[in-house]
Amino acid sequence: MRATALLAMTGQSIWLDNITRKLLDSGQLQTWINSLSVVGLTSNPSIFEKAITGSNDYDAQIRPLIAKGMKPEEIFFECAISDLRRAADLFKPIFERTGSVDGWVSLEVSPLLANDTAATIAQAKELHARAARTNLFIKVPGTPEGIPAIEELIAAGISINVTLLFSESHFQAASEAYLRGLERRAAAGLPLGSVSSVASLFVSRWDRKTAPKLPAALKNTVGIAVSRACYSAYCTVYCSDRWLALEAKGARPQRLLYASTSTKDPALSQTLYVEGLASPRTVNTMPEETLIALSKATAINAVLAPSDSSWRAQLDAISSAGVNLKTCADELQIEGRDSFNKSWIELIAKIETKSSVLAS
């Protein structure tokens, strides 16, 4: 049995962290759905920057958009929504079969809005309406300005993928926003089961950031330890009386999603963050190379239990070695936001250049 199937049997969902038109046109995405237990998909500005500007696959769609006088950002969203609608349709049978637990795809608001709550809400509503797919998440960063937007959007019935989370406190803020949004819907007499969410915790960036500060024995251990702490917090939230009251009214849990799960150090196993974070009722979204490496692995050797507390001693040792975990988490969130901003600006500039070439 493939390790991808074994991972799915633990109760963790495998999503693909990539989308390109070639993946759709070639049938490769459907093949992975059929053979590698892929049940969802995520995207971000960096992924689309590579897809749109690194090929000619989108030129035929871009040309008429240029003729209509669309600006580069409008062109991007037209291309992205076209791809994600097709992907959403591929995953729709899974969405229906699992009762909307899986089968999701994700579209991110402009990263440039990360510090603007009102603009984030407005664009999220617009993109959700334009995409017109029930199994599409709108991605909103879990920044201080993004958290109130998440609550507002959940209350409005828009399903959200909360991105750029790096710590237990970040997860708690995202979870609180989700619960408040659900409670507002319940108070207004609105259905709770029609809205969903995932909280995306970025894993590997922890190890890249902290490796220079740690002794050899602790290098490349921070991402998994922080993620296990978040899993423990996740389990605590979703067995609380507060949650059970919402669940009784039809609410769905905001599942913990492990993102950034490819290893950056070539000396490490490509499946380090997959095998170390196998945990029930969660999601692991992985790039193609990690998915393929997992499909060739032989086993999933351990599954996290809600009672697991091994991360406590690990995080204590990391702190004692001089890593301020709260400071690092906040820095990572800012760095992640800035990285997405950079990719976005580059993407828009390259679309503008491509548009000029195609127009001539």
Active site (catalytic) residues: 139
| b/e per residue 69-99 (b: at least 16 CB within 10 A) | ebebeebbbbbbbebbbbbbebbeebbeeee
Distance of alpha carbon 196 from the chain centroid: 13
SS3 call for 254: coil
DSSP-derived secondary structure for 1-68: --HHHHHHHTTEEEEEE---HHHHHTSHHHHHHHHS-EEEEE--HHHHHHHHHTSSTTHHHHHHHHHT
Contact between residue 62 and residue 359 where contact means Cβ atoms under 8 Å apart: no
Residue 139 β-bridge partners = 108, 161
Chain mean position to CA 76: 19
